[in-house]
Chains A and B, each alone.
Chain A
Amino acid sequence: MRYSLLVMSREATEAEIGEEAMAWGRAAFDAYAKSLDSAGVLISADILQPVAAATTITVRDGALKVQDGPFADTKEKLNGTFVIQVPDLDSAIAWAEKCPGAQYGAVEIRPSAIVFSDGSWHQVD
């Protein structure tokens, strides 16, 4: 099964977080990604820029509408994703528990429904 681990937490600037905590975060996420990688379960990992850098568009009303900022204005924001391939939810939970983001935020585990690869959509096994 493929799962996205969605790392949610309150957004803070580097200055607010402080150098020490930033250093901790860099080291912890580095170790985390490497450990997912060496277990052979990592598909991709992204740490996102702050929502201030986000742009949301829609053509829902017929014409392109471009809006500054995120789709939903929530207190806790999505700030990173880890896509992993593991046998089942138990294993996904075991990995999510080790995610550094879980220490200060929360990790939503979302199973993939279908994935696109080799030129077409596939059901995930």
Chain B
Amino acid sequence: MTDAATRAEEVARSSYGRLLAVLATPTGDIPAAEDALADAFERALASWPTAGIPDNPAGWLLTVARNRLRDLYKSSAHRTSTELEDTHTVLDNLDLEAIPDKRLELLFVCAHPAIEAAIRTPLMLQTVLGFESAQIAVAFAVPEPAMAQRLVRAKRRIRVARIPFVIPVLADMPTRLPAVLEAIYGAYAIDWQGVAGETIRESMSAEALYLATILAALLGDEPEAFGLVALIALSLSRAKARENGVPLDEQDTNLWDADLIAQGEAALRQAHGYGRIGRFQLEAAIQSAHCARRDGQPTDYVALRKLYTALVGIAPTLGARVSLAAAIGEDDGPEAGLAELDRIDAPRFQPLWATRAHLLSQLGRTEDARAAYEKAISLTTDEITRDRLRARAGE
């Protein structure tokens, strides 16, 4: 690969989202902005090897893409794209930092209430990070044409419904921000269960961390955004220890990534500094509490129980409620954990049955435990999880 091509690729990776956001903001027409940007990258590859790499590659790309867009909007059938003026002169003093960062607006567009929840994460991966729909389709285990079609439909909706590229006013933040946080978290927690027992859990997780970091930096003073950074960094730090489905409390702590833990803890401290607790901060704090084991301390189930109780108070998801029951089981004993589990009505939720089986076997109720393990196993389509459950069930 030539220097120019390498450089174009670097610029593409580092500034794609910024350039796209700026280009799409005036019209809300993301596909046109994507085409113009793709065209600009193509021209860069054609011209940089001979004309030299401009001092300010991102600004060069932006100007070429803008001209392209202007042509597009002005042109009718008889007017084909005119030769561009020499863009170098226009741009010498325009660097990337001078280009307004509209990625925050773009993130809010992607997670707008008028956009179907399931497509928000793919939209962010494509528009902010520049992923091809084929790569996103692989990550979500969806056929490529289906993913491409869903993305096209969502982008058309953004344009025709004229979803505005704005940051919501403060009053709307409590309803709008959670959708953005959740869509970013969605890139981390894609429902990864591959059907063949091969589980690709982490393929988009680094991107999720990057998106969360952008969001936290651009919002500036939003504790939940830092909470999300902390949660993803801390969860990601266990990636290696988690291989083959080893649960958190049995992982070899030597395999945890110290840098990611440090990044997560720092983000969590920053979040707590604002004094406004939220779902992602609590989930991050739960991850953080497990770090005690790294220093040779036993897991603090009293603290975990408090954290889960607070979490269930603000975000009573099935997962959180089952985890609370498990923490109560560790703290007050299995009887109490089972009583808590009995209050959850979700007969098809696999973790509920796995937890019930664990608590029943602690009580020595072997027959009941076996039945619960069987139920949990029957709800598991992932081979690794099934094998672990079978081993626990003593099969």
Contacts and interface: CB of A to CB of B under 8 A. Distances in A.
9 contacts: A21-B144, A32-B195, A86-B378, A90-B375, A91-B379, A94-B379, A98-B195, A103-B142, A103-B146
Given A18-B145, A90-B378, 10 more contacts: A20-B144, A28-B143, A31-B196, A31-B198, A35-B381, A39-B386, A97-B381, A100-B143, A100-B195, A103-B141
Contacts of A31: 194-196, 198
Interface in B77-103: none
A47 interface: no
Interface of B: 134, 137, 141-146, 193-198, 347-348, 350, 374-375, 378-381, 383, 386
Nearest to A104: B146
Contacts of B378: 86-88, 90-91, 94
- Identify which of B141, B348, B375, B378 gathers the most chain A CB atoms within 10 Å of its CB: B378
A50 B74 CA distance: 48
Given A18-B145, A21-B144, A39-B386, A94 B374 contact: no
A25 B141 CA distance: 11
A109 to B, nearest CB: 13
A48 interface: no
Contacts of A20: 134, 144-145
Nearest to A17: B145
A99 to B, nearest CB: 8
Nearest to A39: B386
Nearest to A32: B195
- Identify which of B146, B374, B379 gathers the most chain A CB atoms within 10 Å of its CB: B379
A63 to B, nearest CB: 45
A25 B144 CA distance: 10
A116 B317 CA distance: 44
Interface of A: 17-18, 20-21, 24-25, 28, 30-32, 34-35, 38-39, 86-88, 90-91, 93-95, 97-98, 100, 103-104
Contacts of B383: 35, 38-39
B16 to A, nearest CB: 23
A87 B375 contact: yes
B131 to A, nearest CB: 16
B374 A35 contact: no
Contacts of B379: 90-91, 94
Nearest to B144: A20
Contacts of A34: 196
B381 A24 contact: no
A17 B144 CA distance: 11
Contacts of A25: 143
A24 B348 CA distance: 29
Nearest to A30: B196
- Identify which of B142, B143, B144 gathers the most chain A CB atoms within 10 Å of its CB: B143
B143 A103 contact: yes
A104 B150 CA distance: 11
B195 A35 contact: yes
A91 B375 CA distance: 8
A104 B381 CA distance: 20
Contact of A94 (B145, B194, B348): B348
Nearest to A25: B143
B374 A38 contact: no
Contacts of B374: 87
A62 to B, nearest CB: 47
A28 B146 CA distance: 14
Nearest to B198: A31
Contacts of B141: 28, 103
Contacts of B375: 87, 90
Contacts of B197: 35, 38
Contacts of B198: 31
Contacts of A100: 143, 195
B376 to A, nearest CB: 10
A28 B374 CA distance: 27
A98 B146 contact: no
A98 B385 CA distance: 15
A107 to B, nearest CB: 13
